[in-house]
Structure 1
Amino acid sequence: PDDQIKRIVLSGGGANIADFRELLAVEASAEVETINPFRNIYVDDDQFDPDFIKQIA
């Protein structure tokens, strides 16, 4: 009950909703960070569209 959320990490397409990150930070009184879960994974550009990967990350 005394624990408080200090940090929220977002990823995926929903993280790109306009003003969502800022609103969540205010409402939760916490730091909100957006990450790319694919940043250390090799993705073959011939098999996957790089823009699509960025959108879903």
Structure 2
Amino acid sequence: MSVFIPTQRLRGTLRYLGPIDGKHGIWAGVELDEAGMGKNDGSVAGRAYFSCPPNSGIFVAPSKV
């Protein structure tokens, strides 16, 4: 599913929706269309939630997409 993150003006594909170990609430994992604009590769603290190239993934609150 294509998504837009208006606060950061980023577009991408929703790859994960659910909890993240050590974080409160539900998170949306997004593979960004523009490589290098993200913060991760779909993993957090060594656990993979989805897979994408390095620095092409981002996790945000679902209300942000």
**Which has the higher Rg, Structure 1 or Structure 2?**
1
TM range (shorter): under 0.3
Task: With a CA cutoff of 8 Å and minimum separation of 6, indicate the structure with the bigger relative contact order.
Answer: 1
* Structure (1/2) with the larger strand percentage: 2
Normalising to structure 1: TM-score of the pair?
Answer: 0.22
